Amino acid sequence: MTNSTKLTDVTIAFSGAVQSAYLVNQLAHTGTISEKGLETAICSILTVEPKNVIDVFGAPANVMLGVKQLSMMLSKTKKVNKDKQTKQFKQSMEISRYLLSMMHLEKKLRNDPPKLEHIRQRIERMHTQVNYFSPTHTAVLDNLADLYLETLGQYNLRIKVIGRQQILSRPEHMRTIRLLLFAGIRALVLWRQVGGNRLQFLFSRRKILAITQSLMEQYLD
């Protein structure tokens, strides 16, 4: 694998986490997200033995929302960053906070092999149910949300989601938020597996930005 290919895999994997964080933000404020976005998130959780990075997300196009958001985050100008009253800035800050929280949970999970193995085994047992129904069937969603609560939800780090109270008070929305966070952490596990680390955003920022722009040119409608 060349350095360029590795960094592309790293970028795509991290974009999956960014996409999950973005969808959490969108759902918390509007009460809706795309069916395709949810399906991509669920399928990524259920993919435990991918052949490559794209296998986790199904197709490059399925993670372009995250690629676009990552590109925007990396290319922000100082003028935009200083304007703390803009909606774009507030959204970016919330997404970044969700990302940091998911990164902390991923680290806890990485250092907890028994819990990681428990998640893997539970997901493998769920494949029969998924094949019988569909990845987005209510029974599958409920089981995955329960798995999040009994594993990642047990760590002493709770992710505070900001949004409209009438949205966050609905059980089905909170279930979806847990699933999106689960998918984000799964993407970060993948990110680590393909060689991702925080220093890359310091020393390879321009290269990662160029990769996001190239990916958008190829796959974004």
pLDDT tens figures, 80-131:
545 555 778 888 899 999 999 999 999 999 999 999 999 999 999 998 888 8
Distance CA 216, CA 209 (A): 11
pLDDT at residue number 131: 85
Residue ranges of alpha helices (H) inside the chain are 3-30, 35-46, 53-57, 64-74, 78-82, 87-110, 113-132, 138-150, 165-168, 171-193, 200-203, 205-219
pLDDT at residue number 68: 95
Instruction: Identify the CA nearest to 166 among candidates 31, 34, 33, 32.
Output: 31
pTM for this model (two decimals): 0.93
Domain count, the chain: 1
Residue 147 belongs to a domain with what CATH number?
1.10.3890.10
Could you tell me which residues come within 8 angstroms of residue 120 by beta carbon, excluding any fewer than 6 positions away? 48
Cα 100 from chain centroid? 11
Q: Which domain holds residue 105?
A: 3-219
Instruction: Identify the CA nearest to 182 among candidates 137, 140, 125.
Output: 140
pLDDT at residue number 212: 97
pLDDT at residue number 76: 66
Distance CA 130, CA 70 (A): 31
pLDDT < 70 stretches in the chain: 1-3, 76-85
Q: Cα torsion at 214, 101, 96, 74 (round to 10°)?
A: -40
pLDDT at residue number 83: 56
Number of Cα atoms under 13 Å in the Cβ half of residue 154: 9
Asked if 212 and 71 touch (Cβ cutoff 8 Å), the reply is yes
